Amino acid sequence: MSVESPKLMSWIHDLRAGGAETSLLLELEQLRDRGFQVSVGIVSHDRTLAPRYEAAGIEVFDLGNGSRWSRGRRLRQILKEQRPDVVEVILFWPNIVVRPLARVMGIKVVTQLANEEYGAVQRRQSRYGALGVYLAQMADLLTSRFANHFRAVAKGVKVTMSKRLLLRESHVSVIHIARDMSNVGRRTDERRAAARLALGVRDDTFVVMTTGRHDAQKNQVVAVKAIAHLAQTRPNTTLLIAGRSGHGTAAIENAIHAAPDSLDVRLLGERSDVYDLLCAADCYVMPSLWEGFSGAVVEAMALELPMVLSDIPSMHEVTEDRAWFFPASDPVACAELLERVAQGEYPQTLVEESRRRAEGELDIHSITSQLETTYRRLMAN
């Protein structure tokens, strides 16, 4: 290993345009600028963000098509040829497939604990059923023995997953998800006006926004129902939902169809201008049933939005309680808080303190320093 230029290879499920994939790109760019040789591997086929990785000088490897055996041989070949000093694995299938092989080949392995998994809420919501969640937990627990170290994205994730995977907490470092505040920018009247003009939204419309892929975890159906309730007394209201389609899309569409025709809910799909869209909004809502450490909430904090969030531990952690909270499955409670925001009751001090936290503690440069220290210490041992 070259101490000056260590090799880090990150393995993730695929490169769809999602939060984990975007955060990984940002972190690898920063580590590359700090002297690391970085690359990324994927075990599935979605290469949507691959051009952005490659444009940043980050080589992308995939396992191709073919049988499981041929893909396994391809994985071994990649690891043998690249011979990274550390392999980082992110999300379920890289944990199960890449982690054991890398360790057997003598490569040090770091596992990212990105979410709270395998609990009662996940068993209720999973399309694979409670048995499927239990089997996944057992597979994760067994293969986690091959990891040298773990990076939890939040303190709550560390505590919960250490119990569920029987990990020593001393083997788990907490390093949050971050954003590049220079890319996020600042909220200005001009930026707000331009974003609203592009959306065709009037200046006096109360705009609520939520972001994230469409699935049970993100729970966007509650946001739709909350806006439907709010619109009964505040008809000049719009809900923007930015995020890729998924297993929860049909439920969201059904909730929209069940609401009055006058309800203005816009499914924007995957967007590259999320920061501008956030500037168009008057409030950010996140009704997730569970989270790890929400980068989307960090973005809302940075762009000085009032935040109405589900009352789950991770939301309290990321905001340090600088937000308003409602029971995750209660759209009426959510609507009542949104009405108070619309009336101007949300404290400006919460907005200002959230921005300062985002700038001072959740900027990518601060987080990358922690990552670099963790990886170099692991490589040295």
Per-residue confidence band for 17, with pLDDT thresholds at 50, 70 and 90: confident
Segment 123-136, tens digit of pLDDT? 999 989 999 999 99
Segment 353-367, tens digit of pLDDT? 999 999 999 999 999
Per-residue confidence band for 178, with pLDDT thresholds at 50, 70 and 90: very high
Q: Which contiguous run of DSSP H or E holds residue 300?
A: helix 295-302
Q: For each of the domains in the chain, give its residue range(s) and CATH number, in order of start.
A: 7-178+363-380 (3.40.50.2000), 181-361 (3.40.50.2000)
According to DSSP H, which parts of the chain are helical? 19-33, 50-55, 68-82, 92-104, 120-125, 129-143, 155-164, 181-184, 189-199, 220-230, 249-258, 274-280, 295-302, 313-319, 331-342, 348-361, 364-380
Question: What is the side-by-side strand order in the sheet with 172-174?
Answer: 59-62, 37-42, 7-12, 86-90, 108-113, 149-152, 172-174
Ramachandran bin of 129, using left for φ above 0, alpha for ψ from -120 to 50, beta for the remaining angles: left
Residue 258 pLDDT more than 80?
A: yes
Return the pLDDT at 121.
94
Segment 211-223, tens digit of pLDDT? 999 999 999 999 9
Ramachandran bin of 242, using left for φ above 0, alpha for ψ from -120 to 50, beta for the remaining angles: beta
Q: Of 35, 30, 36, whose CA–CA distance to 365 is shortest?
A: 30
For the segment 174-184, the average pLDDT, to the nearest whole number, is 95
Residue 1 pLDDT more than 80?
A: no
Segment 280-338, tens digit of pLDDT? 999 999 999 999 999 999 999 999 999 999 999 999 999 999 999 999 999 999 999 99
Segment 134-171, tens digit of pLDDT? 999 999 999 999 999 999 999 999 999 999 999 998 99
Segment 19-35, tens digit of pLDDT? 889 999 999 999 999 99
Q: Which two tokens stand for residue 280?
A: 């168009």
Return the pLDDT at 165.
98
For the segment 215-234, the average pLDDT, to the nearest whole number, is 96
Return the pLDDT at 3.
57
Q: Which two tokens stand for residue 138?
A: 């057992």
Residue written as token pair 């505590």: 159
Q: Which contiguous run of DSSP H or E holds residue 256?
A: helix 249-258
Per-residue confidence band for 262, with pLDDT thresholds at 50, 70 and 90: confident
| pTM over the 0.85 mark | yes
| Residues 295 and 314 sit within 8 Å (Cβ to Cβ) | no
For the segment 114-119, the average pLDDT, to the nearest whole number, is 95
Of the ranges 14-23, 44-53, 272-281, 362-371, which one carries the lowest mean pLDDT score?
Answer: 14-23
